[in-house]
Amino acid sequence: MKILVTGGIGYIGSHTVVELQARGYEVVIVDDLSNSTIEVLDNIARISGKKPLFEQFDLTDAERTRLFFKKYRDINGIIHFAASKAVGESVELPLKYYRNNLVSLINILQGMLDHEIRNIVFSSSCTVYGQPDKLPVKEDAPVRQAWSPYGNTKRISEEIITDTSKVTGVQSILLRYFNPIGAHETAIIGELPLGVPNSLMPYITQTAIGLRPFLRVWGNDYNTPDGTAIRDYLHVTDLALAHVIAFERMLNGKMKQKLEVFNLGTGNGFSVMQVIESFERTTGVKLDCRIMDRRPGDIEQVWADTELANKELGWKAGKSLDEMTASAWKWEKALAEKRK
């Protein structure tokens, strides 16, 4: 059984490839390495004992994507991660996000239709809910006007997949997940942003290790108990496993309709300051935090109602916030050892 994982050298993609190979799937990765490094490919092999097939190119290149599908005619399904993903950057560079995230998806779906590939799991996001009226947010909550171009690309991508599924043989599972953090228990793979991190957890660990002079906290005037934004943080390996389970739901004919949607989170909301406190508690490292103005595009608070995923997928996030922050620090220290 061969599975294409787009963006499989990236953070969530690499952890998902490890889980797929642990279950015996043959994986082919497509990644342009725009936000990842080729060393991850060897690191996946170190964990799983097998190096995935790998093709480096940009999926917005329609001709190159067409040739890829012509070469790999035996693909049974796709898990699609490849996308630009920084909310703040998307506000500054909207065309980059619309071009990369939407054109790549269209090229992939065309390849699926041309070669009669039926199954796609799509990496979506809780950003499609905007700032929900009711928390925790359920899958049937309204999809709202996005707060950022990044969020809008996820909303539009869902619409593209939905419309394609309606009139073709493609069946789809849209996974709307919240905020993955942490790293593999081996500390061989983890989150490795190129340049200054846009996400909270790598900014925390890079500050703690001395790569950043201080930790920027974007806003402390939200209407939350401590004034900082609240998110549903889940461990990346819990999230990776959910993608495998969703894919197997397709393969085993357990889908109840051609397109399904699931929220993936812990069901708990933690503020930015609570994440910082967890990190300081589990590591003993005190952080120098500086309060900055809010970032454009950031919502105030959101966390998931996970009942549907728990029931239908038989999946539940298992790791605590302290386990997540501790694993992220273990990964950052492993990177520091490499740099010596």
Residue 82 belongs to domain with CATH number: 3.40.50.720
**Of the ranges 81-95, 300-314, 318-332, which one carries the lowest mean pLDDT score?**
81-95
Same domain, 155 and 66: yes
Same domain, 146 and 244: yes
Taking residues 115-133, report their average pLDDT.
94
Stronger pLDDT, 9 or 127, i.e. the higher one: 9
pLDDT in tens, 162-183: 999 999 999 999 999 999 999 9
The Cβ of residue 169 has, within 10 Å, a number of other Cβ atoms equal to 12
Nearest CA-CA partner of 180 in 6, 10, 9: 10
Same domain, 102 and 227: no
Same domain, 332 and 296: yes
Quick one: pLDDT band at residue 147, thresholds 50, 70, 90? confident
Q: Is residue 192 part of a domain?
A: no
DSSP 261: E
Taking residues 291-301, report their average pLDDT.
90
Same domain, 161 and 243: yes
| Phi and psi, residue 125, nearest 5° | -160, 155
Average pLDDT value for the chain: 96
Q: Is residue 177 part of a domain?
A: yes
Same domain, 29 and 121: yes
Residue 93 has pLDDT above 90, yes or no: yes
Q: Is residue 42 part of a domain?
A: yes
Residue 145 has pLDDT above 90, yes or no: no
Taking residues 107-134, report their average pLDDT.
95
Quick one: pLDDT band at residue 252, thresholds 50, 70, 90? very high
Same domain, 29 and 144: yes
Number of domains the chain contains:
2
DSSP 166: H
Q: What is the pLDDT of residue 146?
A: 84
Stronger pLDDT, 57 or 86, i.e. the higher one: 57
Q: Exposed/middle/buried for 82, CB within 10 Å: 0-12, 13-18, 19+?
A: buried
Active site residue 150: yes
Q: Is residue 117 part of a domain?
A: yes
Residue 277 has pLDDT above 90, yes or no: yes
- CATH number, domain with residue 284: 3.90.25.10
Identified catalytic residue from 129, 150, 177, 222: 150
Taking residues 255-266, report their average pLDDT.
97
SS3 content of the chain, % helix, strand, coil (to 5): 45, 20, 40
Q: Is residue 191 part of a domain?
A: no
The tokens for 149 are 């171009």
Same domain, 26 and 167: yes
Same domain, 68 and 96: yes
Q: What is the pLDDT of residue 144?
A: 86
Same domain, 333 and 253: no
- Cross-strand partners of 289: 215
Quick one: pLDDT band at residue 97, thresholds 50, 70, 90? very high
Taking residues 111-118, report their average pLDDT.
97
Question: Domain of 333?
Answer: 200-231+267-303+318-339
Residue 228 to residue 271: CA distance in whole angstroms: 6
Taking residues 272-291, report their average pLDDT.
97
Q: Is residue 18 part of a domain?
A: yes
Same domain, 84 and 133: yes
Quick one: pLDDT band at residue 193, thresholds 50, 70, 90? confident
Nearest CA-CA partner of 126 in 110, 109, 144: 144
Same domain, 243 and 325: no
Residue 188 to residue 41: CA distance in whole angstroms: 11
